[in-house]
Amino acid sequence: VQLQASGGGLVQAGGSRRLSCAASGIRFSSYVMGWFRQAPGKERVFVGALRSSDSSTYLADSVKGRFTISRDNAANTVYLQMNSLKPEDTAVYYCAADPNTWRSLGDYYYGMAYLGKGTQVTVSS
């Protein structure tokens, strides 16, 4: 399983950024796809997840209303659209995947089966 996140970089506060994650080695459409992030000196935390079968999504309260998760099953890619970025959004962002689609999306807070390499997002004030 390979999950390769891309799209990170430096952005000013209030700006937007879209992260992409290309997946391989899995039956993409059958997996729940998600995002985690880890700020400097802090633990990695769950950002949100998206299930393809019913198009349901879950977003952490800290990003709800500003971030959106979407996926393109034909391209085996999941996206994280980040708007109204704040300095506290600065973190390494990781793409994740899990085959247990029956779980409540909020339960992925505790982790997902596969985690890819991250991409750094830095929000300047």
- Distance CA(32)–CA(96), nearest Å, equals 8
Amino acid 101: pLDDT: 85
Hey, which residues does 24 pair with through a beta bridge?
2
- Distance CA(53)–CA(32), nearest Å, equals 9
Provide mean pLDDT across the span 55-63. 95
On average, the pLDDT of the chain sits at: 96
pLDDT at 54 > cutoff 90? no
Amino acid 111: pLDDT: 92
Provide mean pLDDT across the span 7-25. 98
pLDDT range class, residue 26, cuts 50, 70, 90: very high
Phi, psi of 119 (to 5 degrees): -130, 135
